[in-house]
Structure 1
Amino acid sequence: MNNLEQLLQKPISELSSAELEQVMTHKREQERQKEAKERADYEDEKEVFINDLAGAFREQAEKLKAIKSMAIGKGMELNRRIYEINGKEMKEGQKTFTIKNKKDNVKVVIDTQERFEFTEEAQVHISAIKDIFKEKFEQRNKGFYSLLDSILMRNSNGDYDAKLLTKARLQVRKIGDEALITEFDKLQDCMRVVGSSTYLRVYERDENKKWRDISLNFSSI
């Protein structure tokens, strides 16, 4: 039995100051090693968990990409064939179509939407629209202006949103303000089509015969 083991077996009251310090140093080292081991075990387990989960997500993402590609291709083929069977030509630029099963309890919707971007000039017209709204409505009806300013024309970041503004363009014409209409028209001219995205959605009827989206969104599972 070495000296440290002997000290550890002695009652604390019988230890000298030097011996007590030696014992306390040993205890602190034991605690440090224990904490280091627990931390290392935690880090190892965390790495395995994160890497395994990421791998599982990547695998499922690839499967979903393959399903989407197959489904859109096959769906478009079926849509084209039903026109051929009926001796009709598909409308050029058809963006959305739906196909259903015989029981009418499952349907597939394929929707192609254009993707837009706005030139840097758009901000100039957004600022002008903001100023016109303020001048036209703030003093006349502050409650209405606050609603318009804080909700109707702003995106999730709290900024005036070019897409939301362009959607309101037709309604703005009913206001009859030529300066406002001009700025909305100029904002519309700043919009550029930069591509398209095709969306695939599958629905089934619920117990109330209403269509319910079969969502692949992880948060809805």
Structure 2
Amino acid sequence: MSTNLTQSNVSQGKSLNQLTMPMGYRENASGHLVPESAIREQDLLRDQVVSGLVPKALELHKELQAFKQLALQDIEDLIQIAGERYGAKLGGKKGNVSLTTYDGRYKIQRAFREVLAFTEEIEAAKALIDSCLSRWSEGASDNIRAVVRQAFRANTKGEIKTSKILDLMRLKIEDDEWITAMDALRDALKSIGTAVYLRIYERIENTDQYRPVSLDLAAL
């Protein structure tokens, strides 16, 4: 561990909230004041590590936000310049564009993706699909059952993954009730906006291949 942790410097790593508290006390997660003498050393050391790292992460977060805004604005300015030069908008306001340096070493892609959500009609679609599976009984293939279960499995936030529902809609099943269920799914899909992504790449030596420059902590 790179942080130098000692009992003497633990008490010095106090947050702004702690500076307004009575001397020798800490506020716990429940909002109660606890004497520092009653807090385990390990708990104090853990507090020091987290309190030291998170503010740095928040600063990085702000820098990444600022970088994205700057990059998107620079790309939009380039599009506008090209539009003025040729009398047309390069890619349009929501166009996907790919920009490469003159020597081909770096590449930036701006990509837009429509954000979809589901209305209450998805419950009707699910009921119809459940009815199909019950009616088909043993006649339904295990593969179809697995696809259906995966499609309606919510993540930890209680959200259903759109791509899984789209996979479900691609199944070719000749059944009137199933077809009605797919119609209900299509009606349940609603566009709620557009997300914009920046993808940055660096060319791999002298090849025509590029590696992504990850700005995701989990991928570093």
Given the alignment of the two structures, is residue 214 of structure 1 paired with residue 186 of structure 2, yes or no?
no
Unpaired runs of 5+ residues, structure 2, are 1-35
CA RMSD of aligned residues (A): 3.0
- Taking structure 1 as reference, are residues 185 and 162 closer, same or farther at Cα in structure 2, changes over 3 Å only? farther
- Structure 1 residues 146, 120: CA separation in 2 closer, same or farther (over 3 Å shift)? closer
1:127: which partner in 2? Answer: 127
Question: What amino acid is the match of 2:142?
Answer: G
Secondary structure of 2:186 counterpart = helix
- TM-score normalized by structure 1? 0.68
Q: Does 1:175 align with 2:173?
A: yes
Give 1:144's aligned residue. Answer: 143
Checking the alignment, whether the CA contact within 8 Å between 1:95 and 1:113 is kept in structure 2 is no
Distance 1:64 1:86, change over 3 A: same
Greater shift, 99-108 or 81-90, is seen at 81-90
**Cα distance in 1 between the residues matched to 2:161 and 2:49:** 42
- Whether the 8 Å contact between 2:133 and 2:145 is mirrored in structure 1 is no
Give the C-alpha shift of residue 168 in structure 1: 4.0
Deviation readout 1:144-201 (Å, 9 max, x if unpaired): 33443444x35464999462223543x34x4343332222122221222222221111
The code of the aligned residue for 1:87 comes to G
Work out the CA distance in 2 between the residues paired with 1:74 and 1:115. 24
Q: Deviations over 1:108-136 (max 9, x none)?
A: 11112222221223112123124324544
Identity of aligned residues (%): 20
Given that 2:133 and 2:140 are in contact with CA atoms closer than 8 Å, whether structure 1 keeps it comes out as no
In the alignment, the residues of structure 2 paired with residue 92 and residue 129 of structure 1 have an alpha-carbon distance, to the nearest angstrom, of 40
The amino acid of 1:59's aligned partner reads: E
Secondary structure of the corresponding residue to residue 102 of structure 1: coil
1:190 and 1:199 map into 2 onto residues whose CA distance is 25
Whichever residue aligns with residue 219 of structure 1, its letter is A
Alignment of 1:96-107 (within 5 A): 96-107=96-107
- For 1:81, the equivalent position in structure 2 comes to 81
| Conserved? CA contact 1:133–1:145, under 8 Å | no
Query: Within 5 Å, which residues of 2 pair with 1:18-29?
Result: none
Aligned-partner residue type, residue 69 of structure 1: Q
Count of residues in correspondence between the two structures: 182
Code of the residue aligned with 1:216 in structure 2: it is: L
Go from structure 1 to structure 2 and tell me whether the alpha carbon gap of 1:107 and 1:92 turns closer, same or farther (over 3 Å shift): closer
Identify unmatched segments of 5+ residues in structure 1. 1-35
The letter for the 2-side match of 1:166 is L
> Where do 1:11-90 residues align within 5 Å?
40-90=40-90
Q: Secondary structure at the match of 2:190?
A: strand
Secondary structure, aligned partner of 2:208: coil
Q: Which one has a bigger Cα radius of gyration?
A: 1
Letter aligned with residue 182 of structure 2: F
| Paired residues of 1:109 and 1:202 also in contact (CA < 8 A) | yes
Cα deviation digits, residues 36-74 of structure 1 (max 9, x gap): 979643333222211111111111101111001100111
Q: Which residue of 1 aligns with 2:183?
A: 185
Contact 2:204 2:211 in 1 (8 A): yes
Pairwise mapping of residues 192-203 of structure 1 onto structure 2 (< 5 A)? 192-203=190-201
Q: In structure 1, what is the Cα distance between the partners aligned to 2:37 and 2:175? A: 72
